[in-house]
Amino acid sequence: MSGTCALVLFFSIGAAPGSSGLFAASAATPTPPLSSGVDRTGLPTPPADTARLPLSGLWKGVLKVLGGKLDLTISIVPLAGGAYFAALDVPAQRVSRLATEVTVRGDSVLFNMPEIESRYRARYQADSTQLTGAWTRAGVQTPMRLRHSPMPSIVTGAGRLTPPYREEEVVFSNPSSRLTLNGTFSVPAGPGPFPGVVLVADAGPQNRNGTVDNYPLLGAIADYLTRRGVAVLRFDDPGAGRQPDGQPQAGTLAQRTTDVHAALNFLRTRLEIKINRIGVVGHGEGANVALLTAGQALPPAFVVALAPYGLPGQQTLLHQYADALKAKNTDPATTAARYDRQRTMYDIIRQSTPQQASAIVANMMRQDDDALDPAAARSAAAAFLSPAKRYFLNFDPIATLDQVACPVLLMAGALDTETPAAQHLDLVYNELKSVNHNVIVKHIVGVNHLFQPPKAEWVMLNGEMKPTFSPAAQEAMREWIVNIK
């Protein structure tokens, strides 16, 4: 049985006053008028200069019914043009995403749910971020209060709901690499034109959603920004997602910048986009790609760099290697010996020809693992010596930052152990700030490298806890983008 059918059934049972159905009101309580002057919706007529209420988010409350109570949530997303997208969820009755109409007049809000012949009429309390009013069905009114919480962004590969914006499958070419790239272009509701961003994933190859263990990091950013008036282009790395078979995998950071330039030029061709407000949002290695792009010809108008690398590539990899050994409780003497051997391997890769390095690395791997046969060792060495990895070993993230003149927002999670802010973000910030006065840095409390909040703050989806991109980080990003001077 679908969620909608279940909801209609439960609301139909005992809906009349005095019945015992779950949604029957506990008492027929008259609702005091919200205002003396009302329009046809039952809401007060607002003054001409009324500002838009900050309704975006989740509104949670308890509805008293005969024989018990029901937890419910109304989620609200403001759309371009002053409209709203809203939906009702009642977990106890397996009700999910019931369409809800929203009408706002002054500080009064009407939620209308025609499918179940119900409505909730309330007043917004700015001092406590609450909605206070009454739920009405079949003439029965029940007082109810809803409290606000931030809206998490949930995008999953399966069971994804139709979003309140337009998505378009697009194809564009990178003339530098002579590759064709496939992506998704999402456009906010309304006439536009809108600010636009290109999303760039961490070290690849990754699909357009930047999916890590079923967590679509870039997909979550795209959904959040598009719902709030920013158009987004995200694309599959070569060798990932829906890219044609036979294409090479994602290249070096320098090669990846050509993909980003191609994506920027695609957005510049679209009427829906403000041509002078096109930026790049990158995560991890993608953040460094975004900064490299900003230092070249035809740069983006702005950059959001999420957890960028600040240390040279070899130092970064050695730090990560040492942290991995510590996490396994390796004793200090063994850790030091393995660290020195790993550093030697990196030096050989950097200072030898690919052929020489391949033979030496394969030999070192066999010495470290007696069970590794020659063919497996050569295969492992080849994967370790890809052009992208060799490039990263020699990469200095701050070497070209003096060429970045556009506004930059730097963000990192306070619990990031892969690129700790003290080792990476602060270096990038200090270098940028020395030549660029339009740089902001934000450390997001309680989130990791993937910008996931603690598990206790994840959201329930289809009966399971699912990781989500930090709402605080998403909102900081959106606010900065729309307010760039």
What residue spans define the domains of the chain? Answer: 3-149, 166-312+395-482, 313-393
Q: State which amino acid sits at residue 328.
A: K
Topology of domain 166-312+395-482, CATH = Rossmann fold (3.40.50)
What was the pLDDT predicted at 151? Answer: 64
Q: Name which of 199, 416, 217 is nearest 310 in CA terms.
A: 416
Give me 84's structure tokens: 């709203």
464 φ, ψ (degrees, to nearest 5): -125, 150
Topology of domain 3-149, CATH = Lipocalin (2.40.128)
Q: 37-57 burial, b if ≥16 CB within 10 A, otherwise e?
A: eeeeebbbebeeeeeebebbb
Q: How many CB atoms lie within 10 A of CB 418?
A: 17
Opening angle at CA 259, ends 405 and 215, nearest 5? 95
pLDDT along the chain (485 residues), means of 10: 38 34 42 40 43 81 85 80 79 77 90 89 89 90 89 52 85 90 93 94 90 91 94 90 57 93 96 96 97 96 98 94 90 92 91 89 87 85 85 94 97 94 95 95 94 78 74 93 89
What was the pLDDT predicted at 124? Answer: 93
Pairing mode, strands 211-212 and 464-466: unpaired
